[in-house]
Amino acid sequence: MTADREKNCEKKVKIAELKLNKILNKIDAINLNNYFISNLNIPGSNSKIKCLTLCVGLKKYFTLALIVVSIIGYWWIYSGALITGCFVKLPEQSKSLFRSPEDCSMCINVNDVTRLANISAEEFEDLYAYNTKPVIVTDATKDWEALEKFNFNFFADFYRNTKMGRKINDCFYFAYKSGLNSLSEVFSMDEMRANLSGDPWYVGWSTCYEEETKTLRKYYNRPYFLPRTAESDMVDWIFMGGPGQGAHMHVDSVRHVSWQAQVRGRKRWQLAPPPECLYACVPLAFTVHSGEILVVDTNRWYHKTNVLPGDISITIGAEYD
Ligand SMILES: O=C(O)CCC(=O)C(=O)O
């Protein structure tokens, strides 16, 4: 009886070993690279082997494709980051979602905009240059040629004939609701629209080449009231367009406070405190007339503009530190 049992047991162990071997063989067959190499030259390989060979081949291509895609993806993200300084470009509107909360002392007791004239750079520095109360200086563009020369055709000629290395569509550009997607589209507009008789439009752009900024700056000066030590980058902003148009309510994430000279036309500004200060502060609204310069921290005040009826609106602006 015991001998029988032992035999039975041995049989079962053998069967188990056989099954295990079968499984191990299968696993070995799934060791695809070995399988591919060992079966590649077998004449008359059956269809299963062919299929496995094909799968292995595909697997190799897949691995290769994955490597190529990873390299291209890495290069794309990295080179983008080198050019723009960031890895992910956020849509303009989403930037305000990620700003840090404001200290509401920036807007408490600010109930209106102050108009100033004949103010020294020292006094301006002490009282206005670096605080958050918006001010308008009314006498700072008196000798600016821009007031006379800047119009749609001036910029159209300037950018069409530019020989200063600026490609017309380089730098920042804002189309707002114009449907004009680049500066070249702006300056290929038909005459009727350019004269504000067709579809309304409003656009903004920055200069970004030293030569371009230098050439434009021949038509306007550094505002006389800016602190003597204040410096500006070689980047200016230009906003241009017709009545009823303007920038939507937004907050900027530029580096510094800016001055904005109304070279032509009149523009209504609405400033709103940041949402977290809505109960502590009041919104402001005022008109900037031709020849006046607004100084405002657009990184802290939400702002919206609207060109008033009449002439085309042209604004030149720059940041200062
Ligand atoms: O001048 C305008 O219409 C818009 C200005 C503006 O939005 C800005 O400077 O951030």
Name the pLDDT band for 7 (thresholds 50, 70, 90).
low
Domain shared by 108 and 240, yes or no: yes
Q: Does residue 269's CB lie within 6 angstroms of at least one atom of ligand 1?
A: no
Name the pLDDT band for 138 (thresholds 50, 70, 90).
very high
DSSP result, 62-129: HHHHHHHHHHHHHHHHHHHHHHHS-SS---GGGGGGGSPPPPGGGTTT--SPEEE-S--HHHHIIIII
Q: 10 in a domain, yes or no?
A: yes
Q: Atom 4 of ligand 1 has which residue's CA nearest to it?
A: 247
Percent of the chain whose pLDDT exceeds 90: 59
pLDDT for the residue numbered 33: 36
DSSP result, 73-84: HHHHHHHHHHHH
Span from the CA of 44 to the centroid of ligand 1 (angstroms): 76
Domain shared by 197 and 273, yes or no: yes
Domain shared by 43 and 179, yes or no: no
Domain shared by 276 and 300, yes or no: yes
In this structure, the chain runs to a length of 321
- CA angle, 100 as apex, 95 and 106 as ends, to 5°? 110
**271-284: per-residue pLDDT in tens?**
999 999 999 999 99
- Segment 290-295 mean pLDDT: 98
Q: 90 in a domain, yes or no?
A: no
Span from the CA of 229 to the centroid of ligand 1 (angstroms): 25
Domain end among 84, 116, 142: 84
Q: Best of 255, 259, 305 to mutate for ligand 1, by most ligand atoms within 8 A of CB?
A: 305
Q: Does residue 262's CB lie within 6 angstroms of at least one atom of ligand 1?
A: no
Span from the CA of 139 to the centroid of ligand 1 (angstroms): 21
Q: 91 in a domain, yes or no?
A: no
Query: CA dist 178 to 2, 186, 270, 305, Å?
Result: 98, 9, 21, 15
Domain shared by 191 and 44, yes or no: no
Domain shared by 301 and 166, yes or no: yes
Domain shared by 243 and 312, yes or no: yes
Specify the CATH number for the domain of residue 176: 2.60.120.650
Domain end among 84, 106, 137: 84
| 279 token code pair | 């109960």
Domain shared by 259 and 289, yes or no: yes
Structural domains of the chain, count? 2
pLDDT for the residue numbered 250: 96
Lowest mean pLDDT among 125-139, 166-180, 228-242: 166-180
State the residue range of the domain holding 277. Answer: 96-320
Q: Work out which ligand 1 atom sits closest to the CA atom of 258.
A: 9
Q: Does residue 212's CB lie within 6 angstroms of at least one atom of ligand 1?
A: no
Q: 201 in a domain, yes or no?
A: yes
Q: 298 in a domain, yes or no?
A: yes
pLDDT for the residue numbered 281: 98
Q: 19 in a domain, yes or no?
A: yes
Domain shared by 216 and 269, yes or no: yes
Domain shared by 42 and 105, yes or no: no
**175-226: per-residue pLDDT in tens?**
999 999 999 899 999 999 999 999 999 999 999 888 899 999 999 999 999 9
Domain shared by 106 and 73, yes or no: no
Between residues 78 and 166, which one has the greater pLDDT? 166
Domain end among 40, 60, 84: 84
Q: 89 in a domain, yes or no?
A: no
Query: With 50 as the cut, is the pLDDT of residue 28 above it?
Result: no
Domain shared by 116 and 204, yes or no: yes
Label residue 57 left, alpha or beta by phi (over 0 means left) and psi (-120 to 50 means alpha).
Answer: alpha
- Segment 124-128 mean pLDDT: 97
Q: 301 in a domain, yes or no?
A: yes
Q: Work out which ligand 1 atom sits closest to the CA atom of 250.
A: 7
